[in-house]
Structure 1
Amino acid sequence: MSRRHVPAVLGLVAGALVAVPAPAAHAATVQVRCSVPDLVAAVDAANSSPGPDTLQLARKCTYTLTAPDPVNPGNGLPVITSEITIDGRGATIRRDERGNKVPKFRILFVGPTGNLTLTRTTISGGFATDCPAFPDPPGLACGGGISNTGTMKVTRSKFIGNTARSDVFAQGGGIDSPGSGSVSETEVTANHVVYSGSEAGGAAAGGAISNDGPLTVTRSRLTGNTATVTKDTQSTAFAAGIISFAETTVEDTVISRNRAFAPGGIARGAVSNGIPVPGRLTVTGGAISDNTSDAPHGVAQGGGIANNGLMTASRVRISGNRAVAQDGTARGGGVRVGPFGTLELTDSHVTGNTADAPNGTAQGGGLYHAGGTTGLGTTTLRENTITHNRAGDGGGIFKASGVLTLNGDVIRDNQPNNCSPAGTVPGCTG
């Protein structure tokens, strides 16, 4: 791969010959033909060269990977170890999924020294078999499309049909980011995170995105992703959209039609927050809509949001979400605030959500507040509308314990009642 260098400039100044030092080399731009060997060679060369490199892929080409990287077989392409921009120009990088003939591997891994900018590229068919950031205990699987332990910036791209599957713990069907990351104007759809083990207490987290490092998601769409666990193992499927284990900001993003499924276990919110205090999940603008947490013979907690840390949300439409548990317990069709959760919800619409548990218990169609005795367990509502939600009890809000306050909120037309138990939410009637 050739690089362009600016030569040293010699000039005459006041009759004297003066040597001007050569400036630093500009970033190299390499045109990558529509060929997997060419793409692999370009990544290898960029990793070994000084300075940043841009790889421009062949416009609308599909690069189909049929074998993993021989050095790091968990990945399709060589590990990103330097500063690289992949400009796809509408290209797709995919794993060949023909039957069982092709090994399972994710598409991209950004190593600790790597700095990847991915733009205008579709990542498809990746299948995580390991978890580079957390190799112990063995058997974890993270990031079907991409795993980032360095720095990652994704713009105007698509992650479609990627999977992280494990018999121990799986996270990040589309994207897993323990490093520093940002995702903007990107579609993350039809990705899957699966716990396939037979032992009790397994988990699948983050059908679209799992985040263990600082992350910002802006103007993106997380749609049609799933989190599932093995039946009757008392395992947890959560965050079919996004799970946050570290500081996270989500802005003007649509999170919709995602599904967590845990028969005989726990199914929890499309947006789930497990960030340790004092970290915070902040959601501004956008919509969390038409998501489902389904746990037949188990517990469904929050169809749209399940918060058990510090969370701030404003100007969000939380609508059409469902917490469903046939012969089980469903709590919080739109939002569930756990015993360690603190939620500040402002200027938002919580409407048309459902908590449904045929032959079981269904509470808090719009919002379920568990409360706690740890100094957390607080929900503060300001100028929201909570309307047309439905549950067995507490169609608008069900408050089990703790502190929940209203400040100019409109709570009406919920079924069978607006707030329950009666008198526990000052300012809410009917």
Structure 2
Amino acid sequence: MVQAYQRLVDEGLASARTGSGTVVARDAAVPPRPAADRRRTLHELRLPLSTPDGIDLNLSPGVPDLAAFPRAAWLRAERAVLDRVTASDLGYGDPGGSPRLRGELVGWLARTRGIRADADDVLVCGGVAQGQALLAQVLVARGAAAMAVEDPGSRGTRDQLTHWGVRTEPVPIDRNGILVGPLRETGATTVVLTPAHQFPTGVVLAPDRRRELLAWAGEDDRLIVEDDYDAEHRYDRTPVAALQGSAPEQVAYLGSISKSLAPGMRLGWLIAPRRLQADLLAAKHASDLGSSALPQLVLAELLTNGDYERHLRTVRARQRARRDALLAGLRAHLPQARVRGVAAGLHLLVELPSGDDVAIAEQVRATGVLVHPLSWHRRLPGPPGLVLGYAAQTPDRLIEAAARIGQALSPPRP
């Protein structure tokens, strides 16, 4: 019951105050989902990163724990799939993805992320990167020359949008997430967000900010692109629900197995407003005719038999221990630094009191540790910092990395 009430508060649907109880928030009504209108069109359309030399501790953000890949569970699921797969299952099939996987995904995402969608709303794609590329192509074709992005925010996302001809408008964030006032000032009608665990600051979009953002999106059919890139990795509580469940016709939802299983699988999903789905499906078909069939069927099997959930529980415990080890090492060897963000994800942000973070990252690199300077991921002015990924290193190696970082940043003794 406590978690249910907390989820309502997190989504901005209720507000709670000590001594006053919990009440429905003002303007908290969820818009109805329109009836399906693209099924006929759907059927008509059926015709990372290597480690540099000299680096023995790679703390780049976004590098998952590939050693944790569930080989035995994947092999069992693949054998089960091959025992019953038909010849037609291995053909080109629907460019939107395997019907079985899409059916399993909508059930799992509804239960774990609060997503509201039908199986036909899911577009299986080659990870979040392809989903973003498809959205960029469709939106540019519709006249959207600019998109707003969080600042600081993912440099990879910004670079990819630029590649597809999109001008990105930086919008500052604070401890509650993106600032909607500056977002309005950009004039952009689309914004790309990481609301469950913002990259790279690690903050969570606050309930009041969620409501304000959804109100912005409801004006003139604006669009929120929700990158839910590591929401399954929350260590202190149940993660806040996805924005998509509150406004399916204003949010394009992106997810993948890159951070939970392996990025090399190139398997993700896009759930977009229905007004965009036919164009997105056509763009996907033109791009590659559809994603690889066998990995889709294996992932569907893992979702069906519960092995995917069991794997996530194991990985969460493993990653929490690694995050704790890195925090302990930083407290011991870099006490002047401030760590930002909630207990979640596969990276953390260390804000530094002063200095050029690019130069600082080079100093750290000289000790054999690879980190990202915060300035790589921002265009607006702000404090220096380092973005540290911890997923791919063991606790003892993370403590060693913290010691080297502290050594690199400590002033020389006279």
TM-score class, shorter: under 0.3
Query: Relative CO higher for 1 or 2, CA cutoff 8 Å, sep ≥ 6?
Result: 2
The structure with more strand, counted as a fraction of residues = 1
Which is higher, the Rg of structure 1 or of structure 2?
A: 1
